[in-house]
Amino acid sequence: MARLVQPLGIFTQSHYWRILRCHNAKRALTVGAKFSTVTALAGTPKSRDEGTTTVKLSSKARRKAFYESPEGVLLRKLNECSKDGDVVQALCHYDEARKLGVLLNLDHYNKLLYLCSVENADVPHLGLRRGFEIFQQMLIDRVQPNEATFTNAARLAAAKEDPDMAFELLKQMKNVAIPPKLRSYEPALFGFCKRGDAEKAYLVDADMIESGIVAEEPELSALLEVSVNTKKEDKVYEILHRLRATVRQVSESTLRIVQDWFNSEYAATIGKEKWDVNKVREGILRGGGGWHGQGWLGRGRWKMVETQVKEDGVCLSCGEKLVSIDIDPKETEIFAASLSKLACQKEAKENFVHFQKWLERHGPFDAVVDGANVGLSNGHNFSFSRLNTVVEQLRQISPSKRLPLIILHISRVNGGPAQNPKNRRLIENWKKNGALYATPQGSNDDWYWLYAAVSCKCLLLTDDEMRDHLFQLLGSSFFPRWKEKHQVRASTSSSRGSLIMPPCYSIVIQESANGSWHVPTVTSDDPEIPRKWLCATRSRNKSLHNIWTSSSRSDCT
């Protein structure tokens, strides 16, 4: 077998990228001409250029020309192979295309590299061997790579158990001004963690932070595991807090790593026997409660119990009361402004601005209801009776005894069950009290009820889990905290139903002032199924945390 050329070798040429850009510009003109013009010969030309006319094709004609071209046929075949995960057939198509002189572009190469980077038990080494060969050929062909190219090449390096090469590819990507994504870091990060090389894993993590990339649970879990295994107590502490800040509740696999730390003999020897109580208290105040950030407190073996937390926030194992972590009002204002900006981009701006002005005139409200979600909660038929039940329940618990704001699409206000006389009277009553807003045709109700609840700083009644693309746009920092404190759900366990209010404590990793930890796990979407918590404590005398929280305004009343 021919020796593989090191794929990074070509990157070391200082003039490579200047040549590549110029070559690509010429190549683009050549390819573009192939699919965007046709040459018509009028009669018998007297010279090479005489009688030749160039006719520009429409976009539709260009797409059709590419579709029917050898390049287009190859791309369709590779797409099918990608769907089926068939690297063998994809490589056959590639070899045949090269024999025929088909001009491969970035899409072709990225499909091939992706397929080669995916592990295939039937041909375990084929993709790895051919993947580097194809990557080298792509560079020889002067096809400029993008983020997907580098990421797939890094995955090949990781499959070769060479995270150093994967990290070097990441650096090269940044050197040519291609912004990395979270997935770009995973091959190097997971590779170093798997190898047990904590220091290099931390270098990848630092580079990720420098690039503004936020690690998610898989990355943090890998970093936590390598830190536990290499006895890096400061890093274990740091990563637990990063999990607290970004993930909040952990999966079972991450929980097992947390348990490995607290179970270890080494963890029993780590911690301050004496600490500054005032600094701990200041840390709790500064962070809004639920953590202090002053390091491991106490010494001795940890006692771990998988337990539950009562409705009032009291741990059933240690008896400690968990806190409700404050949200900075400025954060809420910033979030409302960003929500408004996003909504105006996604919705017809004049419609949403009209709603904002309406809300200024009729608000604020003590609660907002996602009318469609509640009305459809018991099946496919919309129920105004069901909606009215929860509306009245919210009015009863409202400090002002005012009706909540009901958001409904205009089609539900005017058609279907709304035409029933009894339902019509309900609708007219809500309108008369300024408690109903009908969103216009073509709009997405979600933007309206979410903005209303955030801007009014009030409760939001919906059983929507708020996980689709719209809510992903809102990020993973502030929104989950806001949702936890404001979302009310409608229980269907009784005939009339009941309201499930937000918990009076924060369902997030909590570090107590006495050094104990409570770690919640991810549970099902059903709020009535108990959540499992890990309670980790050390033997202690008087609990400063109990003294501190007894006077905290976050206590449940």
248-260 residue pLDDT tens = 999 999 999 999 9
- For residue 315, pLDDT over 50 is answered with yes
Compute the average pLDDT of residues 491-507: 79
Task: Give the tens place of pLDDT for each residue, 61-79.
Answer: 888 888 889 999 999 999 9
* Residue 53: band (very low, low, confident or very high) from pLDDT cuts 50, 70, 90: low
Least confident piece of the model among 246-250, 455-459, 539-543: 539-543
Q: Six-digit token pair at 122?
A: 């039937």
Whether residue 358 has pLDDT greater than 70: yes
Distances 325 to 285, 355, 460, 499, 551 between C-alpha atoms, Å: 10, 31, 19, 22, 15
Give the pLDDT score at 542. Answer: 41
pLDDT of residue 121: 74
Q: What is the mean pLDDT of residues 257-268?
A: 97
Instruction: Indicate whether 13 pLDDT > 50.
Output: no
Ranked by mean pLDDT, the top range of 375-384, 409-418, 520-529 is 409-418
Residue 475 has pLDDT above 90, yes or no: no
Rg of the Cα trace of the chain? 30
Reported as a pLDDT band with limits 50, 70 and 90, residue 317 is very high
How confident is the model at residue 54, as a pLDDT? Answer: 57
pLDDT band for 41, please (50, 70, 90 cuts): very low
The Cβ-side half-sphere exposure at 250, using a 13 Å CA radius, reads 29
Q: Which band of pLDDT confidence, cut at 50, 70 and 90, is reported for residue 375? A: very high
Predicted confidence band of residue 188 (pLDDT cuts 50, 70, 90): very high
In angstroms, the CA 392 to CA 459 distance is 14
CA neighbor of 58 nearest in space, from 30, 75, 38, 74: 38
**Cα 258 from Cα 331, distance rounded (Å):** 30
Nearest to 221 by CA among 255, 270, 174, 265: 255
Q: What percent of the chain shows pLDDT beyond 70?
A: 85
For residue 479, is pLDDT > 70? Answer: yes
Query: At CA 215, angle to CA 209 and CA 219, rounded to 5?
Result: 120
pLDDT digits (tens, 9 = 90+) for 224-238: 999 999 999 999 999
What kind and span of H or E run contains 89? helix 87-100
Q: Which residue has the higher pLDDT, 59 or 284?
A: 284
pLDDT in the model for residue 57: 74
* pLDDT class of 525 with cuts at 50, 70, 90: low
DSSP SS3 for 323? coil
For the record, the structure tokens of 316 come out as 């059933």
Q: What angle do CA 149, 152, 158 make, to 5 degrees?
A: 140
pLDDT band at 312 (very low <50, low <70, confident <90, very high): very high
Among residues 420, 390, 418, the alpha carbon closest in space to that of 403 is found at 390
pLDDT for 26 equals 42
Instruction: Name the percent of the chain lying above pLDDT 90.
Output: 71
The pLDDT, as a whole number, for residue 197 is 98
- Residue pair 475/460 in contact (Cβ under 8 Å)? The answer is no
The whole-number average pLDDT for the span 427-450 is 95
Report the candidate in 184, 186, 190, 188 with the shortest Cα–Cα distance to residue 145: 184
Note the pLDDT tens digit of each residue in 109-139: 999 999 999 877 777 788 888 999 999 999 9
| Residue 11, φ and ψ in degrees, nearest 5 | -70, -20
Which residues, 6+ apart, have CB-to-CB distance to 262 below 8 Å? 302, 304, 517, 536
- pLDDT at 206 exceeding the cut of 60: yes
